[in-house]
Amino acid sequence: MELWVLGTSAGRPILGRNVTSVALQMPQNRGTFWMIDCGEGTQHQLLRTPFRLSRLEKLFITHLHGDHVFGLAGLLSSRSSLGGTEPIALYGPPGLRELIETTLRITETHLGFALRIYEVGEGVVFEDDAFSVEAAKLDHRIISFGYRITERPRTGALNVKLLGEIGVPSGPLYGKLKAGEDITLEDGRIIRSLDVVSSPIPGRVIVVLGDTKPCNSAVELAKGADLLLHEATFSHHLADKAGEYGHSTAVQAAETASAAGVKRLLITHFSTRYKDEDLEALEEEAKTVFLASDIALELKPYKISR
């Protein structure tokens, strides 16, 4: 799995930085990618990546401020014009359905695929046999969600060498043991799956937060995550302004990461007052609290390993 940050600018794009959007490359056997937010210009950014719109499976919207949604209708229209036919599931706060359906209607945009819109609340908003997605409300000027994407554990490895030594014939019996079933051999011996299969391999956890002030729900949502993407709109010198506008500083993002015990923090959503050469200072501020902090770089793949 890889996370690509397609935009790191807050409010509006500037030269060299686009507004908010994230792409998440799903495991190879799934063959798809997911997105979180879709600010203006997102489809231009996607053209500079390996992602194909036809493989977009799900799109999660954190909140309805323009820098997070103004690219959505255009992206959906382009996917249709490119021949995309597989359905897309779109998740987000109340008002998302009205925004999309009204825009498509008055622009007479007709999609060639099914668009399934889910206006979500807190709790699990999606799950299948491989992943679950949980949403939690944050503390912003309007309803803003964070999303916790959790990969289910993978079955442990089968100890083939041991099975050979104790005389278990390869074939269907191996499959039963791998699936957690105990087996009985022809000579009456019982082989327990627990004895020949290693512990389950934990799944990966990725947490992407919408705009927010520091809050307990952000910490709870991010608990133990492999990767946390957190806004850091201002430096700590502007903490009062951050609070006034419902945002966080780099230090506050790092404090959330530390309290949640995450493995890695990426900070993003930088105020346009900061030029590229200023971002290193924001990173250093975060590192004073949480060492495993980095500024998110646009169009750089961040690998998320098991």
Catalytic residue among 67, 139, 187, 226: 67
**Catalytic: 67?**
yes
Q: Is 230 marked as binding a ligand?
A: no
Q: Is 182 marked as binding a ligand?
A: no
Q: Is 269 marked as binding a ligand?
A: yes
Q: Is 67 marked as binding a ligand?
A: yes
Q: Is 68 marked as binding a ligand?
A: yes
Q: Is 44 marked as binding a ligand?
A: no
DSSP string, the chain: -EEEEEE-BSSS-BTTB-BSEEEEEPPTTT--EEEEEE-TTHHHHHTTSS--GGGEEEEE-S---HHHHTTHHHHHHHHHHTT--S-EEEEESTTHHHHHHHHHHHTT---SS-EEEEE--SEEEEE-SSEEEEEEE--SSS--EEEEEEEPPBPPPB-HHHHHHTTPPSSHHHHHHHTT--EE-TTS-EE-HHHHBPPPBPPPEEEEE-S--S-HHHHHHHTT-SEEEEE--B-GGGHHHHHHTT--BHHHHHHHHHHHT-S-EEEE-B-TTS-GGGHHHHHHHHHTT-SSEEE--BT-EEE---
Binding site, residues?
63, 65, 67-68, 140, 211, 269
Binding site for Zn(2+), residues?
63, 65, 67-68, 140, 211, 269
Residue numbers annotated as active site: 67
